[in-house]
Each structure stands twice: as C-alpha cells, then as structure tokens.
C-alpha cells in the first residue's frame, strides 16, 4: 500500500496513503482546508470493506455533521464497491443526530422518553425559549427592568429589545450547557442552591431552562441536545444493547471532529469501547461554532495527544494559490507564537501549516501568476460605502473574468444586507445566501402558496394566484405569453372552486366556460391539468402537514436536491404541528413564507445541504460562517476590524450590551455554571476562571481568529480585505491580525521578487 500512488482511480498524496494504511485502533487525523479529508475518509471506509475486515452482519459506521457530506461520502463508497464488483453493503453514513435518533427509536424505554417522541429543530427551540422568556419576564418585570437606565422612550425601547434578546440567549446557553452536563432543571437548581451565592443571571437561565423543559415535556419533545443525551442514557442502561451495537459497528469513522462536544465524544466513546476502532478526522483550525454551541476544538486537540491514539496529518492542499496559503499559515503562526494575549496563543489554533501539492497532483494549486491579494489601506467612512465600493469591484472583476466564481463574505448579516442592496442598485447577478439559498426560497415559495390556497379553498383569488405561480415557475404547461396566462387566471377566478376542481362530468369545465370569451382548446387542456392537480391536493389536505407537504412535493419536484429540501421542511413542520396542535394550514403557510422571503433560515442546514455550489459569473453574498465548506476563485472579506475580530480584552466585543456597564449576562451565567459543575462530566474542560467575562472574551478572540482563517481559505486565486471607520455606530480600527498580515505579505512580495 505504501508504494501505491493511486487507489481505485484516485491519485493519492503521501499523507493520504499513510492514513489508508490504518487497520485498527484509535487514530486522529488533523487536516487543513482542501486536503481531501472527506475523500480520504470515504476511501478508508471502502478499503476496510474490500479487505474483508467487516463481518457479514456488521458495518463501518461513518458519522459526520452535514447531510450533504452524508450523501457525498455514501455515494463515493458505493461507487468504489461497485467498481470492485462488491454489493453496496457493509457501511452506514449518517449525522450524529440521526444516529442518536435511531438509537432512541430502538430502545426508547431505556432513556425514559415517550415512544412517539417529537424531534424539534432549532427554529422551534428558539420559538419555545422566546415563549419562556415572555412568561419569565412578566413574572419578574421589576427586577428585569431595573437593568434598563432611564432615558427617552425610543432609546429605552431599543434597550428593552436588546435586553430581551440577551435574556433569550441566557436561556438558550444555560439550557444547552445543562444538557451537556446531563443536568435536569431540578439538578441544576439544586447545584445553584448548594453554592449559596446569588448568581442572579445563572438563576434566571436555570428558571428559563425549567420553563422551556415544561414546554417540551408537554408535547414529548426532544431537541437536538436531548437526542444525544437520551441516546447516551440508553447506552448506559443496558450493556447487552451496547455490546450488540459495538458488534454491528466495529469501526467508527468520524468526520468534522473539530466540532465535537462532550456529549458527542461520550456517545462515540461508548459505541467504540476501550478496545475498539475509532478514526477521527477534522481541522481544529476551522472550528468556528464554539462561542454559541457546546463544541470546542480543544476536545479534538486533546484526543490527538491521548496515549494510544496515532496522530497523523493531512497538510497538502490544492485549494489555494501559494500567496493565499502563505497568509493562512502566517495567521496561524503569528497567533500561536506572538499574539498579544498569551492565553489566545494556546486556545486559537493547532500549529500546523498548509503545503502546496506536488507536480502531477489531481488538484494542482492555482498558479501564483493568477493570484492577487489586495489590502485596502485606507478605511471607508462607513459600512454602506464599503459595501457599495466592494460591490462595484466585484461586478467589474466579473466583467474581466466571467468564468470566475466570486464571493463577498461578511462577518454578520448586517454588512451582508448592505452588500445585497448595493448589488441590487448595480443590477448585478448575485445570490443572496445570508439566510438561505435561492433554491430553498423558491421551493418554500411554491409550497407556501399551495398551503395558502389549501387553507382557504373557497378563494378563487388565491386559486388563480397559485395557477399563475406554478405556470410561471415551469410546473405547468407554458402559456403563449403573459396575456394568455392572465386570461387563464381570469377564467379560473370567474368559476366557483367547486365547479372548477370537482366537475361532475368530463365536459363540465368546457360547459362552465361556454359563455366565457376567447376560450381556446389549449386553455381547456391547461386548466384541466391544473384542476386535476389541485383537486388531488384538496382531497389530501386532511393528512398530517408533513405528509401533505410531501404529497405536493412529489407532484411538483423531480430533482433529488429539491425533494431533499422538501423532506427537511416536512420534518420541521411535523415537529411544529406536534408542538402547536392548534395550528392550521394558514399558520404553516406563514412559516414557509418566512423562509421564502428570506426572513428565516432552515436552521442547521448548510449551504451545501441546500444544494448550493458556487457558480461562475455570479456573485455570492453570505457570512464567513456560512461559507465554511465552500470555495470561490475570488473572495472579498469585509469589515476586518477590531469589533468583528478583536485581539485585546480592552476591545469592544459584539453582543455585549453597552448599557449593562461591564456585565455580560449570558457569559457570566455560562461560566458560573461551568465552575459550579466541577467534574460532573468526565473529560469536560475544567479551568479555574477568576474572571468569567475575561475568559469568555479570550475564547471569542480565539474563535474570531479561526473565522478569519476560514474566510481566507475560501479563496482559490484572489483575495481582498477592507474595513470602515464606523461599524454598528462604533468607531473601529483595522484588526491587529489584518495589520500583521498586510506587513507579512509585503515582505513576501519583496522576498519573492513580485511587485505589489
């Protein structure tokens, strides 16, 4: 194996060959962007099967984060097995939440959950927590309002809205942390009472957790954290059940291990066992969710150093041109060795570098001559002007390089909205990916209109509008021009819905329109097609909302990505219907309409899950967080300032309420609970924190550096950095990391003989 350069048609890099020599035990693979880690994992799973290391009734279990990765890995394994003339058996690829759900479905009795439990998504979690906040604030209105200073009515209202959002954040963070500590609301309250300290924000968070938990229990609901917790409970309750699962999955391969949390580590640890086979692959330098989830890259880095774990690396990358790779490496090295905050040097990055591919590699790096990096040395006066200028640059760039893909990446949706407005004013071709993809919004728009009519079946106005939407979107036979389309809509609205949808004879529609002007045979055929389709949906409208949605979807969509999106929406609406039994079709139509209008995202769905791939000749606008896992030829990074990317405890930190005078309720509550919990969770990162706000700020600094690293490594050829004097009504300066990179790049140009 070590001397081979290809395997099943895939050209292997030396480090990939080393990973594929694995036969058993524990191994950790630290990878860099563009190193082919997902392909390597798929090859390893197939190799274990081809070599006969899996018994007939066993499987290689591959666990990942994104649904798109599930499909990608599974298809590659199937293709390899097909080429080897081996049946596509012996493997299972799934997300961790799907794995936990299946464990619970098999033995719900061991976990103390109802047989017909309901899985709720993050949208519903936030909705329920908001309801808990409303109840709690009403009961503690005096104490809660005491944090709002006296000022004019308008400013006071803005502060109340911000304080309410922060209250919800306290509830969400404490709820998530309690579940990862495996603490019920009562156990968390007892822990706080034993401390005999006020901890007012933590008490608020625990009480919000209790109220939220009551909402869940009333409907047998489980959120995503409950799934992992309860599945772990089931594994701990029955050793025979656990041993059977270990025999079924003798090899566990984990993708995106940098985003692991204590519960996720524990459930896989149980499934593997002390003598089992566990391969964890991830990039600790791309962990960008730790400040708002329980994930933390330190768990994976700790695993890399554990005794009995073989550490390997995938450091060769064909994604970026060398100048971009140089900047990414310099950011990591400067942070690890010279960052002004010593604590950040330890917590931000794994000290590893990207290396270019060798000659003959299947994915060669773009030539240096095609790579350009631009640092805008002077600030723009504000975000609006920065967005306007960058949008202009992006449009001009595409005119020169129409075959390139381009992205404008922003730290938050706030800047992204300004970019979208600027591109609209320029009449540019762009994809607004700030909350969802155009494809998601189009699917939601069609389903919302359908549900909107089915919730009001007597409305000929809505029926006509539905016909117009389906016809213009290509779901029905095309009309000869808009005039003919409008005429058919008028014909629909001239009839009663009963006569149109449920004609008594085959000629009823013809007879009903006998007196209507300008009715052609083509009109009758098109309207009969539409009538047949909608009447089927009306008859199906008594079905549960998820089944109704899938019925409509099967009639309209054929593409696998669109059907997958419909399935995701159906699952979400099913959970909503079980949590809100009084809801009717107009309510569900409004839910879908919020997605269609880009007011709400399908939370938990990545851009890749939503079927998005970068398109040449089009500008993508999204956040740096959502850009993870994607790449473009040219990337513009906006607002690289010390508000979005702070480097010192003295910087201003986004999310901290200016009117609370140095207080950070969510941060304080979370850190106090971490400290009180002590060693409740084996392996939970325990640190003696004297100043919880300072500790949280350091963690935020570290994560934002990783976010900047992700932004840089989205670019294949060209990269631009800009910033403004004012961001969110605050005066800001360029991020310290930006200044370091600008100086380092100037030295790089001089040493390589290139002219800036």
Identify the pLDDT of residue 504: 67
Q: Is 254 helix (H, G, I), strand (E, B) or coil?
A: strand
pTM for the structure as a whole: 0.89
Report DSSP letters for 663-694, one per residue. Answer: --HHHHHHHHHHHHHTTSSTT------S-HHH
Burial of 532 (0-12, 13-18, 19+ CB in 10 A): exposed
Q: Which residues pair with 61 in a beta bridge?
A: 92, 252
Q: Rounded to the nearest 10 degrees, how much is the dihedral formed by the CA atoms of 135, 138, 143, 148?
A: 100
Identify the pLDDT of residue 290: 67
Residue 418 near residue 430, CB atoms below 8 Å: no
Backbone angles phi, psi at 61, to 5 degrees: -95, 120
Topology at the third CATH level for domain 368-435+609-752: Rossmann fold (3.40.50)
Distances from the Cα of 521 to the Cα of 498, 510, 524, angstroms: 21, 9, 5
Identify the pLDDT of residue 756: 54
Q: Is 701 helix (H, G, I), strand (E, B) or coil?
A: helix
Q: Is 287 helix (H, G, I), strand (E, B) or coil?
A: coil
Residue 443 near residue 550, CB atoms below 8 Å: no
Give the whole-angstrom CA distance, residue 592 versus residue 602. 10
Identify the pLDDT of residue 507: 61
Among 721, 718, 710, CA closest to 632: 718
Residues 584-619 as b or e (16 or more Cβ within 10 Å = b)? ebebbbebbbbbbebebbbebbbbbbbbbebeeebb
Identify the pLDDT of residue 1: 37
| pLDDT lower than 70: segments of the chain | 1-4, 290-294, 479-480, 504-507, 602-606, 609-610, 679-690, 754-756
Identify the pLDDT of residue 599: 78
Among 336, 273, 280, 339, CA closest to 313: 280
Report DSSP letters for 553-622, one per residue. Answer: HHHH--SHHHHHHHHHHHHHHHHHHHH-TT--HHHHHHHHHHHHTTSS--TT--TTTTT----TT-EEEE
Give the whole-angstrom CA distance, residue 533 versus residue 639. 50
Residue whose pair of structure tokens reads 């508000």 in the numeric block: 643
- Could you tell me which residues come within 8 angstroms of residue 112 by beta carbon, excluding any fewer than 6 positions away? 230, 233
Report DSSP letters for 193-250, one per residue. Answer: HHHTS--HHHHHHHHHHHHHHHHHHHTTEE-HHHHHHHHHHHHHH-HHHHHHHHHH-S
Q: Max CA-CA distance within the chain? A: 86
Residue 718 near residue 371, CB atoms below 8 Å: yes
Among 74, 666, 614, 687, CA closest to 343: 687
Q: Which residues pair with 94 in a beta bridge?
A: 63
Could you tell me which CATH class the domain 6-105+227-316 is placed in? alpha beta
Give the whole-angstrom CA distance, residue 266 versus residue 572. 27
Backbone angles phi, psi at 501, to 5 degrees: -90, -30
Give the whole-angstrom CA distance, residue 331 versus residue 640. 14
Identify the pLDDT of residue 294: 67
β-strands 430-432, 619-623 pairing? parallel
Among 224, 222, 227, 238, CA closest to 270: 238
| Residue 139 token pair | 């009961």
Q: Is 304 helix (H, G, I), strand (E, B) or coil?
A: helix
Identify the pLDDT of residue 405: 97
How many Å separate Cα 66 from the centre of its chain? 8
* First-last CA distance in the chain: 45
Give the whole-angstrom CA distance, residue 46 versus residue 66. 20
Q: Is 11 left (phi over 0), alpha (psi -120 to 50) or beta?
A: beta
């Amino acid at each position: 194996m070590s001397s081979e350069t290809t395997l099943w048609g895939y050209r292997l890099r030396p480090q990939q060959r080393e990973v594929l020599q694995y036969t058993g035990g524990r191994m950790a693979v630290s990878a860099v962007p563009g190193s082919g880690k997902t392909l390597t994992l798929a090859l390893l799973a197939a190799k274990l099967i081809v070599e006969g290391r899996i018994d007939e009734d066993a499987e290689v279990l591959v666990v990942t984060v994104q649904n798109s990765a599930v499909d990608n890995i599974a298809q590659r394994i199937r293709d390899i097995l097909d080429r080897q003339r081996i049946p596509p058996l012996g493997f299972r690829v799934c997300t961790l939440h799907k794995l936990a759900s299946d464990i619970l479905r098999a033995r719900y009795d061991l976990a103390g959950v109802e047989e017909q439990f309901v899985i709720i998504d993050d949208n519903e979690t936030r909705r329920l927590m908001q309801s808990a906040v409303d109840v709690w604030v009403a009961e503690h209105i005096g104490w809660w309002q005491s944090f709002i200073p006296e000022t004019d009515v308008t400013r006071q209202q803005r502060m109340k809205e911000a304080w309410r959002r922060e209250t919800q954040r306290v509830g969400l963070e404490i709820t998530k942390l309690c579940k990862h500590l495996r603490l019920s609301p009562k156990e968390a309250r007892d822990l706080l009472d034993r401390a005999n300290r006020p901890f007012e924000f933590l008490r608020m968070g625990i009480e919000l957790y209790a109220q939220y938990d009551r909402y869940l229990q009333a409907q047998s609901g489980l959120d995503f954290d409950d799934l992992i917790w309860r599945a772990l409970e089931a594994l701990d309750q029955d050793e025979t059940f656990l041993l059977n699962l270990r025999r079924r999955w003798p090899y566990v391969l984990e993708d995106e291990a940098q985003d692991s949390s204590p519960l996720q580590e524990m459930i896989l640890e149980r499934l593997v066992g002390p003598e089992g086979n566990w391969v964890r692959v991830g990039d600790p330098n791309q962990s960008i969710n730790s400040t708002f989830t329980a994930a933390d890259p330190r768990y994976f880095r700790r695993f890399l150093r554990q005794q009995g774990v073989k550490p390997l690396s995938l450091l060769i990358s064909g994604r970026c041109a060398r100048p971009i790779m140089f900047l990414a490496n310099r950011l990591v090295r400067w942070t690890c060795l010279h960052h002004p905050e010593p604590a950040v040097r330890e917590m931000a990055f794994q000290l590893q570098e990207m290396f270019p591919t060798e000659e003959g590699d299947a994915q060669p790096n773009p030539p240096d001559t095609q790579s350009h990096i631009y640092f805008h040395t002077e600030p723009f006066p504000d975000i609006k002007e920065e967005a306007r200028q960058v949008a202009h640059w992006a449009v001009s760039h595409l005119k020169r390089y129409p075959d390139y893909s381009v992205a404008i990446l922003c730290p938050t949706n706030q800047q992204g909205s300004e970019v979208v407005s600027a591109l609209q004013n320029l009449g540019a071709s762009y994809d607004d990916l700030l909350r969802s993809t155009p494809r998601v919004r189009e699917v939601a728009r069609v389903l919302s209109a359908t549900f909107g009519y089915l919730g009001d079946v007597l409305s000929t106005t809505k029926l006509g509008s539905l016909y117009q939407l389906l016809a213009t979107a290509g779901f029905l036979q095309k009309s000869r021009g808009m005039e003919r389309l409008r005429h058919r809509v008028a014909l629909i609205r001239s009839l009663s819905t009963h006569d149109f949808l449920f004609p008594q004879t085959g000629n009823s529609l013809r007879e009903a329109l006998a007196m209507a002007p300008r009715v052609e045979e083509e009109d009758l055929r098109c309207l009969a097609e539409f009538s047949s389709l909608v009447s089927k949906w009306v008859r199906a409208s008594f079905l549960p909302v998820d089944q109704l949605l899938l019925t409509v979807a099967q009639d309209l969509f054929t593409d696998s990505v669109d059907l997958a999106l419909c399935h995701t929406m159906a699952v979400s609406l099913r959970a909503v219907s079980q949590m809100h039994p009084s809801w009717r079709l107009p309510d569900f139509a409004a839910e879908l309409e919020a997605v269609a209008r880009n007011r709400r995202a399908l939370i938990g769905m990545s851009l890749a899950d939503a079927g998005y791939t970068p398109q040449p000749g089009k500008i993508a606008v999204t956040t740096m967080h959502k850009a993870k896992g994607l790449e473009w030829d040219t990337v513009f990074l906006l607002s690289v300032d010390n508000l979005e990317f702070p480097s010192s405890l003295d910087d201003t930190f986004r999310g901290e309420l200016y009117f609370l005078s140095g207080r950070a309720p969510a941060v304080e509550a979370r850190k106090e609970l971490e400290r009180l919990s002590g060693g409740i969770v084996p392996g939970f990162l325990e640190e003696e924190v004297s100043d919880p706000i300072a500790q949280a700020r350091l963690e935020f600094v570290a994560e934002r550096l990783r976010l900047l690293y992700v932004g840089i490594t989205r670019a294949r050829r060209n990269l631009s950095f800009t910033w403004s004097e004012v961001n969110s009504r605050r005066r800001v300066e360029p991020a310290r990391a930006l200044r370091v990179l600008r100086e380092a790049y100037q030295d790089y140009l001089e040493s390589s003989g290139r002219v800036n």
